[in-house]
Amino acid sequence: MLRLYNTQTRTKEEFQPLEEGKVRMYVCGPTVYDNAHVGHAMSALVFDIVRRYLQYRGYDVKFAMNFTDVDDKIINRASEKGVDPFDLAEGYIQAYKEHLDDLNILPATVNPRATEPKTMKQILAMIEGLIEKGYAYTVNGDAYFRVHKDDDYGKLSGRNLDEMQAGARIAVGDIKENASDFAIWKNAKEGEPAWETPWGSGRPGWHIECSAMCLHELGESIDIHGGGNDLIFPHHENEIAQSESFTGKSFARYWMHNGMLQLSGEKMSKSIGNLVTIEDFLKDHEGDVMRMLVLNGNYRSPLAFTDESISAAENGLKRLKSGFRPATAKAAGAETEALYAKTASTRDAFTEAMDDDINTAGALGHIFELVRLINASRDTGATDEQLRPAQNTLRELTSVLGLELKEKEGSGDTDKFINLLLEVRSEVRTQKLWALSDLIRDKLAALGVTVEDSKDGSSWRWE
């Protein structure tokens, strides 16, 4: 039985989709005005893992992740750079998609964008509907959501309007009826991207587009709505307010939020400036490293992003990969009862951990135990045939987590020459010419080839 932590109730709840066997999930994607950083990667990875696990559990998952491709920041950035805002957004969208692919994140079922005609049509329909019902009003070409009209406003973030009023910085001379009201449509200035409406030309507010895309792609009520926990308020609160006021139905059943990535003890963010872009990270590390970092923690908790945690993730990956190595040269067979028992119990333990609100750290712990037993079995002489069932399970479970665990490969014919060199080297070794033997090993290491010697012969692999 899968249980998920629901931000709205602050408890783990049994997962029960609206429609048997099907899951509709929506995750808030980035506003594309700059390079994405590893904090974005964390969020994308978390929900990729959730999605993969749901699929592993047999659900047919429809997964929507949007791109916010029109907003103030995009417009400002484009004007700074002297480029067209649509071109700017398009460039970052393509880069983001490539990053997701490099991180082995499954493509979303659909990637709606705010500026698409179908989205814009939905947005306008929503705003008009909200105005009709008295939940929204227009002023000077803007449209605002009337927060006080929504009785249960604040139910997700656990705030109430009175408390917020007390500490709120109320802008002087604001044209809004109330400081808490938020824009669902913004009047466009000269030269800004704009769409025509009965109350003037302009662009959608940030919150309304997500509501509209979610409604259009997945329907009035969805199963899971996700995003970073920095979106809980006001973004998701406002999404709920608009959507439920418009449809009169419950918007999302389960709200899932990932914790923030921490760099030097603080949330990684553009405004603080303490960020590492996904592009930079992937220059030095394979995608699995970032995923490993995420898997080793709890998705709801802050994640430490440090040199030490990164290298721990890298070494942990090596360890997982070690489980896939073939039997030793003179494997003669070994006792496998314990290994097979462990293989079966690992799958159960994995599922149990993941069922408990996607406890990846716990699941990973069980996988590591299986790896150790596989390696121990190999050391005592298990053959490839004997190792295979356990290795297959290892592959299956790590795949559910989205880990690729690829061995590096040489290019073209290099392997042939390396084998030749190692043949010569083994001849050198029988003559006990250790200095020459070690020289070859060192030089190969410098080229990325790790040579390991044992009494049964030498083996090598790309590192």
Partner RNA sequence: GGCGACGUAGCCAAGUUGGUAAGGCGCGGGUCUGCAAAACCCUGAUCACGGGUUCGAGUCCCGUCGUCGCCUCCA
Residue list 143-182, contact with RNA (CB under 7 A) = 157-159, 163-164, 166-169, 182
Binding-site member from 356, 404, 410, 421 for RNA (CB under 7 A)? 356
Q: Which is nearer to RNA, 247 or 298 (CB)?
A: 298
CA distance 264 to 312: 17
Phi, psi angles (nearest 5°) of residue 345: -70, -30
Q: Which of 87, 98, 452, 457 binds RNA (CB under 7 A)?
A: 452
Question: Which of 249/318 has CB closer to RNA?
Answer: 318
Residue choice 364, 382, 401, 422 for contact with RNA (CB under 7 A): 364
* Cα 415 to chain centroid, rounded: 35
Q: How far is CA 68 from CA 10, 83, 212, 214, 241, in A?
A: 28, 18, 12, 13, 19
Sign of CA dihedral 203, 205, 208, 209: positive
CB of 354 to RNA, least distance (A): 10
Residue 270 is a binding residue for RNA (CB under 7 A): yes
Decide if residue 311 touches RNA (CB under 7 A). yes
Among 24-32, 136-144, 195-203, 409-417, which window interacts with RNA (CB under 7 A)? Answer: 24-32
Binding string, residues 227-266; x marks residues near RNA by CB under 7 A = xxxxxxxxx----------------------x-xxx--xx
Say whether residue 14 binds RNA (CB under 7 A).
no
Any contact of residue 204 with RNA (CB under 7 A)? no
Task: Please work out the total of residues on this chain that contact RNA, with binding judged by CB under 7 A.
Answer: 87
Of the listed pieces 48-56, 100-108, 114-122, 450-458, which binds RNA according to CB under 7 A? 450-458
For residue 293, the minimal CB distance to RNA (Å) is 7
Of these, 13, 90, 116, 369, which contacts RNA (CB under 7 A)?
369
- Near RNA by CB under 7 A: residue from 109, 138, 178, 269: 269
Full 3-state SS string of 300-328: CCCEECCHHHHHHHHHHHHHHHHCCCCCC
The binder of RNA chosen from 353, 382, 400, 418 (CB under 7 A):
353
Count of C-beta atoms within a 10 Å radius of residue 381: 15
Q: Specify the pairing of strand 457-462 against strand 449-454.
A: antiparallel
Q: Which is nearer to RNA, 341 or 376 (CB)?
A: 376
- Residues 374, 76 contacting (CB under 8 angstroms): no
> Which one of 92-100, 137-145, 215-223, 351-359 is the stretch in contact with RNA (CB under 7 A)?
351-359
Q: Restricting to residues 33-52, name those near RNA by CB under 7 A.
A: 37, 39-40, 42-43
CB of 68 to RNA, least distance (A): 7
- Return the residue of 102, 128, 192, 438 that touches RNA, per CB under 7 A: 438
**Is residue 322 part of the contact set for RNA (CB under 7 A)?**
yes
Residues 69-98 interacting with RNA (rule: CB under 7 A) = 73
The backbone torsions φ and ψ at residue 433, rounded to the nearest 5 degrees and listed phi first, read -90, 75
DSSP string, 86-152: HHHHHHHHHHHHHHHHHTTPPPPSB--BTTSHHHHHHHHHHHHHHHHTTSEEEETTEEEE-GGG-TT
> How far is residue 366's CA from residue 345's CA, in Å, rounded to a whole number?
9
Q: Alpha-carbon torsion 339, 340, 343, 348, what sign?
A: negative
Q: Residue 302, interface with RNA (CB under 7 A)? A: yes
For residues 252 and 225, the answer to whether their CB atoms sit within 8 Å is: yes
What is the closest distance, in whole angstroms, from the C-beta atom of residue 305 to RNA in the complex? 9
Which of residues 124 and 354 has its CB atom nearest to RNA in the complex? 354
Q: What share of the chain is helix, strand, coil (3-state, %, to 5)?
A: 50, 15, 35
**Residue 455 interacts with RNA (CB under 7 A)?**
yes
Where residue 356 falls (left for φ over 0; alpha for ψ -120 to 50; beta otherwise) is beta
Taking the complex as a whole, how short is the minimal distance between the CB of residue 189 and RNA, in angstroms?
17
Told to check if 112 binds RNA by CB under 7 A, we report no
Q: Which of 106, 361, 421, 444 binds RNA (CB under 7 A)?
A: 361
326: which 2 tokens? 């073939």
Alpha helices, H only, 233-383: 237-247, 278-284, 287-295, 307-322, 337-355, 360-379
The answer to the question of residue 271 lying near RNA (CB under 7 A) is: yes
Phi then psi dihedrals of residue 222, to 5 deg: -120, 170
- Give yes or no for residue 370 binding RNA (CB under 7 A): no
Q: Can residue 277 be called a binding residue for RNA (CB under 7 A)?
A: no
Query: Rounded to whole angstroms, how far apart are CA atoms 176 and 146?
Result: 9
Q: Is 301 a residue that touches RNA (CB under 7 A)?
A: yes
